[in-house]
Structure formats: structure tokens, C-alpha cells
Chain A
Amino acid sequence: MKKMLTLVLALILALTVVGACAEKQVLTVVTWDATTTPYLVAQEAAFEAKYPDVDLQYIDVASQDYAIKVGTMLSGGDTSDVVMIKEARDIINWQAAGYAAPMTDFIAADGFDVSGYVGTEVNYAVDGVQYALPFRSDFWVLFYNKDLFDAAGVAYPTNDMTWDQYAELAKTMTKDGVYGTHYHTWLSAVANWAVCDGVNTLADREYSDLAYFYNLYQGLEDAGACMAYNELKASGLHYSAAFANGNVAMMPMGYWYVSTLIGYNKEGTCNFNWGITAVPHADGVAAGSSFGNLTGAMINEKSANKELAWKYVSWLCGEEGAAATAATGTRPAWVSENVASTMSAVEGFPTDDASKAALIPSYVGMEWPVVDKLSEIQTVVNEEHSLIMTREIDVEDGIEEMNERVAELFE
């Protein structure tokens, strides 16, 4: 069936190439991992199917050095039409340097409906002017290895668990070479949970709200319920391999890992059953609260064809693009009733109801808010994070340092 479809698609493509070779408009889009990211492949196919007269060309940049390479390209006057936004600070930097074309007029002229973003699009706006739109919105969920829970005869984690209950569960699951849980080395995996309450952010210059999560983590590390940070950092173990190894019972991770796991199951890299639930919540915070980050697209100020660029961006970030994105197991930024069912219908997605329910979070805070001096704050907080995690300093002292050094940035 699939082969037929590709064949037909290829045929249509070939015919249009022959028929409309001269009139085809080229649209260049700067992105990362273009050939291996399923949603980019799907988006390209769907977009070109709808607009056969447009030839969508990705400019593939290494994901690790995306900001520096693309920043340099833009500074040199690159004329690519659309540039994808990987991190919050990209749009801050590029808007300030004048690389991003304002979209507000396009949005108004088209009557483009932004309600599907449930408010997240303001993260791409500066002084009320929209400079980019999100097309992908990842939030964090809890992955768990069903086979390990079955073998231990312990009930699966649920969508309504407090962090303390989760810690107990992790300790219960820890035995015979099995780790109860796994924390990747990032700040976001360990302490970012403080922003789930909708009040705190990581840029509010007050970090005492992180203490609970650092203490929780250190308790688990001391109990041997998770791999030690120092070892993880030194070995560079990637979280995808850590969970796929099959000796980790739970792992909080971004939703994007779903498509990785589905891929692993298909190619046989791992073959256990897994599920997802909402991440645990703190006392007094609603169940299903999480945090996440956006991936978006901006129109290059230097683009020679901004109308065409807008046509693509509004398609990509709108409902149709969302459908194409969701079909690959990636969560689009545009949330509609169909999106959740499309996502859970993806082949390889866990079939239990709890996993499906986890697709609809009750609240999603931003991993990093868009604020002045964001990059400097990130550097400080991450530096102190590494000191706390290596236990070079106490949790309290580390948080004191965060408060002090971030305050210094604004003196």
C-alpha cells in the first residue's frame, strides 16, 4: 500500500517536473537533519503535493552547530526564504539583528487563525510583533518500560503521580541491574519541573524553587535508583541509548523521543513494550502539568519571495502542516481535536488508554521564557547546575550562587 502511494507520488512528481519545469518556483528552507528527520520528509511531500508548482529545497545544517552556522549565514546576507528556529534564543538574536521579517501584516491580511497555538506563539513575538510561528511543540512526558514493570509485578506509573510517589516507585523498581529511573544530564531533565506550576520560570532570578528537585534527584542517585551524573557526563551516554538498553524502568524525556522509540522498535534496536504517562507533579500543582519548547519557522528578511515564504510558513504552522507533522509521531504546535487522535493512531504508538491520555497535558510551561539576556542567564544557570550535579557544591549553595550571579547580570 505504502509502496503504491510512493510510486503514485513519484509519478505525479515526475509528470509535474516534465510538465511545469520552467514555471516551478524554488523555495529554500534552512533546517537541520533534513534527510533523517521523518517530519521534515513528510512535510516536504505534503506541501509539494498541495503546491505542485513549488520546489521545496531544504538547506541541511548540522544540528549541533545550527545557531552558529545559520547566524553566520544570515549575517553574510544569505537569501534563503525560510529559516527554522531551533532554540528560543535563536529568534531573540536573529530578530535583534534584523534577519527576521515581521509576520504581523501577513497574519492580518490572511486572517490567519493563531488560536490553535493556545498562547504559545507569544514566545516568538517581540514588542507585539510576530516574527516567527511555531510548527512543533514538544512537552515532557514520562516514558516507562512495560516489560520491566510486568516482570517485577509492579503497577505501571499513572497520569496522576506526585514526585514523591514517583521517587518511591523508582526505588521499588531498582534491583538486579535495573535502574528505577534515568535522568539525562540536562538541567531540563532534572530541575526544570519547577516551571510546571505556571508561576516560576527559569529566568525569574529566584531559584529556590529548584531545590526540591535537586534534593529529590540526589536522593535517588544515593539510593542507586538512577545512573550517576558523573558517569553519564563522562561517558556521554545518550538518553536514547540509555532507555533503549532495556535496564531503565522510567525516564522523563521530551515527547520527540516517541518517534525515536517507534523507529527503534521497527528496526529492531530495541524490542520491549513501552508506554508514556504525564510527568509527575508537585503537591498543589495540577496533574498533567508539564513544560516544553517550541520549534518554529521565520521568514528571512532577505528573501526575494516573501509571499511564497509566507505561503509555506502559514501552511507548515497551520492545521494542514500540523496533520503532516502529527502523522510522523511528532507533536505539532497547532493543537486541534484531530491532532491527538492522529498522533495516537501512528503505527507503533502504545495502545493503552493512559498513554493516549498523556497526549493532552493540562498545562505546558516554557522551558526557557523569551527574556532579555536569556543567553547569559542560561550560561550561569547551567554552570551552577553542573556544580550541583557533580556535588562540587551543596544544593543550597548552588542555588544561592544562581541567585547572586543572575542578579549581577542585571546590575
Chain B
Amino acid sequence: MAQTAAKKAGRPMSRLERKNTLIAYSFLAPNFLGFAIFTLIPVVFSVLLSFVKWNGGPISQMEWVGLDNYASIFKIEKVIEKFSEGEFFYFFERVDLGIALKNTIFYTLVTVPLTLICAIALAMALNKAVKGAVAFRTIFFFPYVASMVAICVCWNFMLMKDGPVNQFIQLLGIPFNKSWTADSTMAIWAIVLVSVWRNMGYYMVIYLAALQGVPRELYEAATVDGANKWQQFTNITIPQLQPTTFFASIMMIISCFKIFDVVAIMTEGGPGRATKMLVYYIYDVAFAQNKYGTASAISMVLLVIVLVITIIQFRSEKKFAND
């Protein structure tokens, strides 16, 4: 494939290039074969699914419907009609997809930076051989290890009207006295809280591992130059961690966009549609309504958003690496 690509480009591949490409493919092959068969092919199939009507029955029952699935999730006609009537935000206020998008994007925008900051801070604090570091590291990683169903039940309890979290908040003088998951504005924050709590230890581990790769000589040189701790952090640590931050932020954005289990166990998308997220919506459409084509179409919306974000980050990573 690469060979034909090279020929098309008009430049014949040198023997060395060809050898290098073959070597590269030999590195890729073991993983790629499994990946292609068990993941890539079904994913490509699901892209096609978004253009058909399918209720899970025999493949012969599939019916090509073009963009109908997309039109129905966006409620195009209705949205345009309302727009011309002056209801500009109808899509985000009334349409399921719009509400799910709004909730998911809000959740992602809040959760990603919060988790990243917590993770870097914890990793920096525990990178040194402080006393009890092993214990702290393990404790912070614990939430990620625990099974979701037990954890979400716990958190629902913690966030009850007279639960420990509210008691703590009231100590701080904030008069909040309602179950978080029963309140339209707080419910999404409950999910943010649980997500940050669960994932900060996870990303802390990634950063801890990355910090091992930062050459110590850089810090020594900076110390000699008289740079203080903060300057070292911004001028050495942050740039050196860039590939990791790239990885962590992309993984986190994707996993935030795909948030499902916390919502399913803690709020079931409620109250009303206050915590209805994209994948919860997909789940409902696919498995309760048996509309697999429509569910795929919603997934494609998610895929496009994530791909755009990834490509932007990918570009900036390359630019950064070239500088």
C-alpha cells in the first residue's frame, strides 16, 4: 500500500526506504492484525450502519436510508422552523441530541482541566521520595481500582441531603441542603466530582511515569543558572511532560465524551434530562428502542467532535516538537 502511494507521488521508493517500511510493518503487525479484525472492522461497519435502518434483525432487513438518521437526531426541520420563529436555542433546549451535547461538552470542559491539575499536582508532590509516598500513591489510585457499581452507590450516599459532603459544605458556610443528584443544576456536578475523584489517581500514575523520563541534568543546569522551583516547573517540567499531557488530555476528552457508567448508576440521566449524556442517549436508542442505525449516527457525531479535537492537538504537538 505504501509502495503504491509512493509511486503515485511520483517518487520511487529507494531500497532502504522499502526495507525500513517493511521493518516498521513488522513492528506493527502483531498488534495491528488483532486490532484490525476485532476493532477496526466493526467500527468501520458502524460508520456504514449510521446510513441504514436496522433493528438488529437479519442483515437482509437492513434498509439504506441515506442521511435520514442524521436528520432525525438533529430534528433538522423543526429546529429550522423554530429558528425562523426566533427560538434560536431550540436545539440545545428541547432536542435530545442538543441537550446531550450541551451536557456532555459542559461536563468535559469542567472535568478535563480539573482532573489534569489535580493529577499533575499529586504527581509532583509524590514524585520525590517523601515519607509515606507509597501509601499516598496507593490511596490516590484506589478509586480507580474499585468496581463502579459499589462506588456509585457509595457516592450517592455521600451526596445525600444530610450526607457528609453537604455537612462539610455547610461547615464552610454555604447553605446547600439538597441531594445533589436530585437537583437539576447540582446533578452534573455530582458526576464531575465522582469523575475527578476516580480519575485523578489514574492520571497521576501516568504523570509519575512520565516524570521518570525527565532528564535530571536539565534541573541541575537550571539550578546552576539560578532558576527557582516555579521557573523550573514552567520551563522544564511542563515542556518535558508535553507528550504525556497530549496523551492524557486526548484520553480524558475521549473518556469524558464517552461517560456512561457513572450516569447510568447515579442519575439515569436525570432529573429530567439534566445529566443526559451522549453515550447514555446512544444506549437508550440502541438497546431500548432497538434503532441501531440511529444510535450509530449519534456515535458519528461524537466521533467527528473527538477527531477534530484530536487533529488540532496532533497538529499543535507536531508544531511543538518541531520548534
Contact = CB atoms under 8 A, between A and B. Distances in A.
A384 B161 CA distance: 22
A392 interface: yes
Contact of A390 (B61, B271, B276): B271
Contacts of B179: 230-231, 233-234
A328 B161 CA distance: 40
18 contacts: A71-B290, A93-B55, A96-B55, A97-B290, A230-B178, A233-B182, A234-B160, A236-B153, A236-B156, A376-B289, A378-B288, A383-B269, A384-B272, A387-B271, A390-B270, A393-B272, A408-B78, A411-B78
Contact of B56 (A89, A97, A378, A411): A97
Contacts of B153: 236
Contacts of A235: 156-157, 160
Contacts of A236: 153, 156
B287 interface: yes
B59 to A, nearest CB: 10
A229 interface: yes
Contacts of B184: 387, 390, 392
Interface of A: 67-68, 71-72, 74-75, 89, 93, 96-99, 228-231, 233-236, 375-376, 378-379, 383-384, 386-387, 389-390, 392-393, 408, 411
B159 interface: yes
A206 B143 CA distance: 46
Contacts of A231: 160-161, 179
Interface of B: 55-58, 61, 78, 153, 156-157, 159-161, 163, 178-184, 268-274, 276, 284, 287-290
Contacts of A98: 57-58, 61
B157 A234 contact: yes
Q: Which 10 A-B pairs have the closest CB atoms?
A: A97-B57, A230-B182, A387-B272, A386-B270, A75-B56, A234-B179, A93-B290, A68-B287, A390-B182, A375-B289
B170 to A, nearest CB: 17
A74 B290 CA distance: 12
A392 B272 contact: yes
A12 to B, nearest CB: 42
Contacts of A230: 161, 178-179, 182
B284 A379 contact: yes
Contacts of A75: 56-57
A72 B283 CA distance: 13
Contacts of B161: 228, 230-231, 234
Contacts of A375: 284, 288-290
A231 B179 CA distance: 7
Contacts of A389: 271
Contacts of A228: 161
A71 B181 contact: no
B55 A229 contact: no
A392 B273 CA distance: 11
B156 A234 contact: yes
B290 A383 contact: no
Given A98-B61, A387-B184, A389-B271, 7 more contacts: A71-B287, A74-B56, A233-B179, A234-B161, A390-B183, A390-B270, A393-B272
Contacts of B56: 71-72, 74-75, 93, 97
A229 B161 CA distance: 11
A379 B282 CA distance: 13
A379 B269 CA distance: 10
A383 B268 CA distance: 9
A67 B287 contact: yes
Contacts of A387: 184, 270-272
Contacts of B183: 390, 392
